[in-house]
Amino acid sequence: MDAIELLLTRQSDSNLSFPGPNPAQLEIIKKAALKVPDHGGLTPFKFIIVEEKGREKLGEIYYQAAVKEQQEQRVIDRARQLPERAPMLIIAVSPYQEHPKVPRIEQIQSAGCSVLAMQQAAFAQGLSGVWRTGYFAQSPEVKKQLGLDEKDEIVGYLYLGTPTVQCTKPTRHKPEDFFSSL
């Protein structure tokens, strides 16, 4: 797949199954994550790979956080199952670093770029994925249980696996609706 085809055909896919990325594919995904814009060379990102028994551990972290933070019963009821939606998850974190020239937003954007780069690397290798956030990305208890600082941002959970359905999603947007000239 060439770069233009990747950029114009990449899509999110939440219908994922085994196998997940093999070690060689994962190495490419990791390398792609580190080739993103990074003002000041701060590398404002770190990643936690979750697979096999780790998915069960993450589900328990979600469950405990939902109970402790008194979430709605539907959130509590499905918490343990969420990490089971794909064979692998990569938790992308932006650990904020005070810097006179690189504001917090730029650091978070850099980490966000890494998530997109990883998803594109997976897609280019015949895998698929979906980037999710939601309550568990904002939960102080989840951050604590993952060993993160309260100022760290969980930029997203990248679910990776093999697509179970081959379908091309239609183009939803036209460039002329979003671009103008000055």
**Which three-class secondary structure state does DSSP give residue 128?**
strand
User: Rounded to whole angstroms, what are the CA distances from 65 to 56, 74, 139, 174?
Assistant: 14, 13, 7, 41
What pLDDT is recorded for position 168?
A: 75
Q: For the chain (length 182 residues), average pLDDT per consecutive 10?
A: 88 93 98 97 97 98 98 97 98 96 97 98 96 97 97 97 83 90 94
pLDDT tens-digit map of 35-75: 999 999 999 999 999 999 999 999 999 999 999 999 999 99
Q: Which two tokens stand for residue 15?
A: 């219908």
Cis peptide preceding 19, ω within 30 of 0: yes
Give the pTM: 0.93
Angle 120-161-80 (CA atoms, 0-180°, nearest 5)?
120
Q: Tokens 């990776």 label which residue?
A: 160
DSSP letter at 156? E
Q: Look at residue 138 in the predicted model and tell me its pLDDT.
A: 96
Q: Which two tokens stand for residue 158?
A: 């990248």
Rg of the chain (C-alpha set)? 17
